[in-house]
Structure 1
Amino acid sequence: MSEKLPQDSQNEEVDLGQLFNAIGNLFDRLFSFLGRFIKGIFSAIIFSLKPIVNNFKLIAIVLMLSVVVGVVSERFKTPIYVSDMLVKPYYDSKYQLANNVDYFNALIGSQNYTELSKIFEIDSSTTAKELIGFEIEIGPETQNDLLKEYDDYIKSLDSTLAVEVTYEDFIENRDILAGSIFSIKAKATNNDIFPSLEQGFIKTFKNEYSIKFKARTDSIREVKKQNYLEELERVEKLQETYLDIKTNESSKGELKLGANGLIPLIQEKTETKEYELFQEELKIRSALRILEEEALEESEYYDILSSFEDVGTIESNSFERYSLIFPAISLLIMVLVYVVFKAFKFIKEYE
């Protein structure tokens, strides 16, 4: 028994020694890998900067010339002016609006200035040629507007589907035509052409479909109004009847035998429902008020919340900053030429 104890101790010491050696070798390999990795990054940076340093004068001259050419191009470039109009279409005329914007852009692209002059009632020889294009976007919306729109959308879905649609999913997958207010951006090379474009978009809102839709909506609204008025008239007649009953009972003061003819004598009063009728009257009048408000609000085919400005503003586009774009393109071309030259040299000298 005593002979086995020293052997077990020696085995444990050997195992611990091997473990420490393995850990030490692992750290050595880790530090060696990190050293090679950092050295590789440093070498790659130096290798990338070396051509720039060797050809610094050439690169500086090319970049300076590119900046000069870019500045001159910006000075002589025809400025593009933009102006916005905010509209609120009714009777689903927003679909025709989106379709017409694409149509107007197609006319501009095909240089059909005659048709453009007819639509916007402008001169085809000069003014129509100054149009560049139109863009349509959802107009400004508050958080409350989005929440209300989301609530209406959820109510229109089945209960099983409504649970799966979150507010974030609704906003992310929302189509441009889901909005009620739209921003129309016009672009032109003339800064005072924009007020004359408004008439062309007004024609868009009053189309064949929206006219039929408005007539149908007005008819339905009128039918509802007549039904509410008839119901209100019946309620008022019942109120008058109950009032007459109360007046007669208070004036005559009739006494009847209570408890099937047994004494004492009591005065029995007819049960009426004036409060319920009053509540019903309030509901009907509220419904009539909502109908009248809708009729007033949607009496037109559109509302122009903000017209085109009389004078457009110069469009600021980072992709047209030639003083920055030209140097970037020149640098990219020089890098590509250097890489191609090195690749050819490597292929030619390869054995």
Structure 2
Amino acid sequence: MKSNIPEEEKLNSIVSDLEKIVQKSFNQLSKVGLGIMVMIEELFKSWKRLLAWSIIGGLLGAISLLVTPRKYESNLILKTHIDANEQLFNDVDYLNSLISSSRYDRLSTILGINEENAKKITSIEVSSAASITERLSSLDKVYSKLDSALKQNLVVEDLLEDDKYTFTNKFKVSIYATDPFIFENIESNLISFLERVPELNRLRKNQLQIIQTQKDLYTQEIQNLDSLKKILNRVMLEQTKQKESSEMTINMGKSGDSELINPLSVYNQVNTYAERIVGLEERIPLYEKCYFIVSHLNETGQKSGFGGLMRAIIGAIVFGFIGIIATLSRNKTT
């Protein structure tokens, strides 16, 4: 019968090693726990100092309003129906350059406010206000005209993510100021400044002229069809008397050839032209100005950024944390 002593010795060695590891881990955890308890005890002993740090931080946070006053925001949503995107960004950059260079006299003239109020404007920003549906609709107009080889190399998701301004014609103009009551009389003068560009107005007038020409063409077609309707009505009355078919042969055009005309198709064509005229009339107001206002500026700005209370809380937390580190570091060195 073979002896199991070597196996027992090996097993005892493994158990002994495990006991040492557990004991070592327990000792380490005990030291960590003891250290935490000591740290907590030291912090409790220094609560007055920590409170002082927090109070100082809170006061500094509140006082920071004197250095960087709270901002107020008012937004204007604009929609362009001509290629005005680049010009809009350039105009806003120009206004920001006036702010950064402290040329408040020029800024006040553009916005129609006094120079004192112009100094309260801190910045103007432009961002896309188009929804994903609107951007996809704009992208589809371009995408549908591409050849199949180019379409295969385009990833629509990446294109929409990387370029947020190309496939949109709706923008949010955000004005930031330190006074919530200076936005009341800015909008009309700001729009006048943006509308001043001759090239944009030329594009706008061209589009308006095209729409008006299309409308006049459809109106003339309706008048021609109305004249034809009168003739058809007269012929139909004659045919009714003669109990003939509702279809008739009428001499149309210069060739003198006869064409078979259904009166119902004439009425349907009139309705089609009328619907197109309505659609064109709905588009006309969009081109009365270079920028169509979707949403106006709020006369009273909305709060933007942290106010005095939140700054005080953040300052108290930050300085309290600094106080904790300073207290523990001092006790460690002593």
Normalized against structure 1, the TM-score is what? 0.65
CA deviations over 1:97-116 (Å, ceiling 9, x no partner) = 33333332332222222222
The answer to which of 289-298 and 35-44 deviates more is 35-44
1:66 corresponds to which of 53, 57, 60: 53
CA contact (8 A) 1:82 1:185 kept: no
The CA distance in 1 between the partners of 2:158 and 2:24, in whole Å, is 47
CA contact (8 A) 1:62 1:330 kept: no
SS in 1 for 2:295: strand
Tell me the equivalent position of 1:280: 269
Q: Quote the offset at 1:294 in angstroms.
A: 0.8
Tell me the equivalent position of 1:293: 282
- Structure 1: unaligned runs, 5 residues or longer: 1-17, 255-265, 346-351
Q: Quote the offset at 1:228 in angstroms.
A: 1.9
Alpha carbons of structure 1 residues 253 and 278: separation in structure 2 relative to 1, 3 Å: closer
Alpha carbons of structure 1 residues 244 and 74: separation in structure 2 relative to 1, 3 Å: same
Alpha carbons of structure 1 residues 95 and 252: separation in structure 2 relative to 1, 3 Å: same
How many residues matched? 303
Q: Does 1:114 align with 2:105?
A: yes
Tell me the equivalent position of 2:252: none
Tell me the equivalent position of 2:75: 85
Alpha carbons of structure 1 residues 189 and 88: separation in structure 2 relative to 1, 3 Å: closer
Q: Quote the offset at 1:289 in angstroms.
A: 1.1
Tell me the equivalent position of 2:314: 324
CA contact (8 A) 1:93 1:204 kept: no
What do you get for the CA RMSD once the two structures are aligned?
Answer: 4.5
Normalized against structure 2, the TM-score is what? 0.68
Among the aligned pairs, what percent are the same residue? 18
SS in 2 for 1:190: coil
The CA distance in 2 between the partners of 1:241 and 1:315, in whole Å, is 69
Tell me the equivalent position of 2:254: none
The answer to which of 315-324 and 280-289 deviates more is 315-324
CA contact (8 A) 1:242 1:272 kept: no
CA deviations over 1:93-143 (Å, ceiling 9, x no partner) = 45433333333233222222222222223333x22222222233444x7xx
The CA distance in 1 between the partners of 2:213 and 2:307, in whole Å, is 56
The CA distance in 1 between the partners of 2:213 and 2:219, in whole Å, is 10
Q: Quote the offset at 1:321 in angstroms.
A: 1.3
CA contact (8 A) 1:105 1:133 kept: yes
The CA distance in 1 between the partners of 2:39 and 2:168, in whole Å, is 54
Tell me the equivalent position of 2:225: 235
SS in 2 for 1:211: helix
SS in 2 for 1:122: coil
- Structure 2: unaligned runs, 5 residues or longer: 1-6, 250-259
CA contact (8 A) 2:139 2:167 kept: no
Tell me the equivalent position of 2:122: 132
Tell me the equivalent position of 2:179: 190
Q: State the one-letter code of the partner of 2:99.
A: I
Tell me the equivalent position of 1:214: 204
State the structure with bigger RCO (CA 8 A, min sep 6), 1 or 2.
Answer: 2
Tell me the equivalent position of 1:260: none
Alpha carbons of structure 1 residues 327 and 210: separation in structure 2 relative to 1, 3 Å: same
SS in 1 for 2:218: helix
CA contact (8 A) 2:92 2:126 kept: yes
Q: State the one-letter code of the partner of 1:232.
A: I
Alpha carbons of structure 1 residues 114 and 162: separation in structure 2 relative to 1, 3 Å: farther
Q: Quote the offset at 1:269 in angstroms.
A: 6.2
Tell me the equivalent position of 1:153: 139
Equivalences for residues 45-60 of structure 1 within 5 A: 51=39, 53-54=41-42, 57-58=45-46, 60=47
CA contact (8 A) 2:71 2:179 kept: yes
CA contact (8 A) 2:74 2:174 kept: yes
CA deviations over 1:263-292 (Å, ceiling 9, x no partner) = xxx9x9645311222222221111111111
The CA distance in 1 between the partners of 2:168 and 2:60, in whole Å, is 40
Alpha carbons of structure 1 residues 295 and 269: separation in structure 2 relative to 1, 3 Å: closer
Tell me the equivalent position of 1:262: none
Q: Quote the offset at 1:148 in angstroms.
A: 4.9
CA contact (8 A) 1:154 1:162 kept: no
Q: State the one-letter code of the partner of 1:147.
A: T
